[in-house]
Amino acid sequence: MSAREAVEAYEALPQGTPAALLDGELHLLPRPKFLHLRVTSRLGGALDGPFDRGLAGPGGWIILDEPELHLGPRPDRLVPDLAGWRRERLTDPRETAAFTLAPDWVCEVLSPGGERFDRIKKARVYAREGVRHYWIIDPIAQTLEVLRNESGQWLAVSSFAVEEGDLLIRAEPFDAIELELDGLFRV
């Protein structure tokens, strides 16, 4: 399939179909399962009040669930589980369906069979496009990895695991508040 055919196939997919277009290649992805969705919902809720709405926290962010990103010269098209932009960078996004401005932070929650895709293919696009912070959450292992973009390369800043006793954590760029790590994984 040519790059043009891949774009046409991507655009012809029914709305809401989990897919990505990276390096001119169409990737159809499985729908996330319960634990993946639960972790994403809980984390989005934990960050919304203090960072998006500024309730008992610093505010200054716009945080979205599953925004469609069109990044790079081709462009690559992908949907992170969560993404956040500093408000001063994302002006008047109300009519935006697909974002061409790279987020300041993205979070991917790993799914069985999708780990390599999130850790390698998506990570390369995020680094290339200047995403500053990348969180990778493994709901099975109950871990959070925090990565920072340093000159286009991911630097591991910290990692947390419930099994290691990391229950209340501070993780950049949201280290102004404590997050209840084990709470993300409760059913």
At 39-50, the pLDDT tens digits run 999 999 999 999
Residue 74 confidence (pLDDT) above 90: no
Residue 182 confidence (pLDDT) above 90: yes
* Whole-number average pLDDT of the chain: 93
CATH of the domain at 107: 3.90.1570.10
Position 23 confidence tier, pLDDT thresholds 50, 70, 90: confident
Show the tokens assigned to 162.
């419930």
**Whole-number Å distance between alpha carbons of 162 and 169:** 10
Range of the domain at 179: 31-184
Position 150 confidence tier, pLDDT thresholds 50, 70, 90: very high
If one counts every other C-beta atom within 10 angstroms of the C-beta of residue 147, the result is 24
Using a pLDDT cut of 90, give the percent of the chain over it: 78
* Rounded mean pLDDT, 125-131: 97
Do the domain assignments include residue 72? yes
Does the pTM surpass 0.75? The reply is yes
Do the domain assignments include residue 13? no
Residue 73 confidence (pLDDT) above 90: no
Do the domain assignments include residue 167? yes
Highest mean pLDDT among 24-28, 29-33, 47-51: 47-51
Do the domain assignments include residue 16? no
Number of domains in the chain: 1
Do the domain assignments include residue 22? no
Do the domain assignments include residue 110? yes
Residue 90 belongs to what H/E stretch? none
Do the domain assignments include residue 61? yes
Beta bridge partners of 137: 109, 144
* pLDDT attached to residue 93: 80
3-state DSSP assignment of residue 46: helix
Do the domain assignments include residue 6? no
